[in-house]
Amino acid sequence: MGSSITLAAMRDKVADLGFRIRGIRARLDEEDDLRTRVDLRGELAMLEERRDRVERRLQGLESASDDSWSRVSAEFEQEWDALVQDFEERVGSYS
């Protein structure tokens, strides 16, 4: 039961990050500086790709056996933490 609650929380986190990325993308046209817009598009594309990869890892976690749950969830958390840190450093000020 605890793992299903944890999975739901993880899915919510991944969905929220996708929402934040889409929000920044929607506001790009308001940015006056063309170079900044181009840079942000590149950053967002990279972050979306990583978010998708984390989401796929989460799907794998959903089918993990009880024996591998700790290892697989730790790998997910590590990848997730790195993604969130990169998001905040690269584009967090725009969200």
Task: Tell me what pLDDT residue 4 has.
Answer: 62
Neighbours of 39 (CB within 10 A): 14
Which pLDDT tens digit goes with each residue over 28-51? Answer: 988 899 999 999 999 999 999 999
Distances (CA, A) of 65 to 4, 51, 95: 13, 23, 37
> What total of structural domains would you count in the chain?
1
What pTM does this model have? 0.88
Q: Tell me which residue range forms the domain holding 68.
A: 2-94
